[in-house]
Amino acid sequence: MRVAVVLPMGTPSEVVGTARFAEETGFDGVWMYENLYAAGAFAAAGAAITATSRIRVGIGTVSPYTRSPAIVAMEAGLLHRLGGGRFALGLGASPAELVGRLGIDATKPLTVMRETLTVLRELFAGRSTTFAGERVRLRDVTLALPKPAEGPPLYLGAIGERMLGLAGQLADGLIFSVLCPLPFIRRALGYVAAGAAAAQRDATQFDVVAYVPFALRAQAREARDLLRPEIAFNLARFAGKPDLERLLTQDGLLDAARMQWIARRVGEGAAPSEVIDDDLVDALCLAGDEDDVRRRLDAYGKAGVREIALFGVGTDAQSREMLKTLARIAR
């Protein structure tokens, strides 16, 4: 099991400092995400790559709607070369409401993702590319990047069945975002395997990364308490959104009524400990004492996850010690 850290997308010193700390501590990589109208992921990735020499640096994810595939290829191709092949690129459809603020039609995500992946492969192969798709169009575009012409591995962030199948068909790996329970991960990888089989690809070569909220303390209750506020906030945000609700309700972890109750209680200012119990934390996070964390790492590995990316970890001294302990456990 590889272990990585999701970078805090805050100040430059936090981005660079955490990347350096992760490398020095023995982690395998760092990941960063791009939320629209917040920090840009390509700039952060460049800073992390130049601050390190060994670990993988990945973006997971950027939206295929907001940049032409040619622009994405320019940025990602150079980052891959700057890092000596250490860069990974993840794509994920951003919320349609946020994309729509740019005047961009955010419909047909499956089509947009399929066409974007197809074009990126052509561009990274160094070929002159003309593509007249339904949503992506290029004419005589060739990347003028230093050789070799190969590009970074391409990952998808996906939860829908058809998008998961597309990942198996065309991508090199999959990124599970925070709060994906293990039963969902197991079922999702079945759709990935079916997509790979349909495309006559070897599913055993497919990489799987999971962003997982993380806290470790000598007293397991203290670790869980650290994560309850973020879980409560996100479950309240997911309530009433069918795709996100389904992620958490289809295996019986929650039901729609409980999610609505959590949203209501959070809105009323209830303490996170009043709405998020230990079972819910354990189902969605890597939390507890050292033995708890070992068991959860093993469970993720058995579910098919190859890399855990620790999410939501601070940059204070106590958080650094927590990460050092996790690196030791993983080794």
Per-residue pLDDT band at 146 (split at 50, 70, 90): confident
Domain layout of the chain by residue ranges: 2-216+289-330
pLDDT tens string 86-97: 999 999 988 888
Read off the DSSP letter of residue 244.
H
Q: Give φ, ψ of 7 to 5 degrees.
A: -70, 140
pLDDT tens string 16-36: 999 999 999 999 999 999 988
Q: What is the mean pLDDT of the segment spanning 74-103?
A: 92
Residue 147 has pLDDT above 70, yes or no: no
Per-residue pLDDT band at 37 (split at 50, 70, 90): confident
pLDDT tens string 213-227: 999 999 999 999 999
CATH tag for 2-216+289-330 (out of 3.10.150.10, 2.10.109.10, 3.90.1200.10, 3.20.20.30): 3.20.20.30
Cα(259)–Cα(262) distance, rounded to whole angstroms?
5
Beta strands in the chain (DSSP E): 2-6, 29-32, 56-62, 87-91, 129-132, 137-141, 154-157, 173-176, 207-216, 286-288, 307-311
The amino acid that residue 291 corresponds to is D
Q: What is the mean pLDDT of the segment spanning 134-148?
A: 87
Q: What is the mean pLDDT of the segment spanning 291-310?
A: 97
Mean pLDDT of the chain: 94
CA 127 to chain centre: 29
Q: Give φ, ψ of 133 to 5 degrees.
A: -90, -175
Residue 9 has pLDDT above 90, yes or no: no
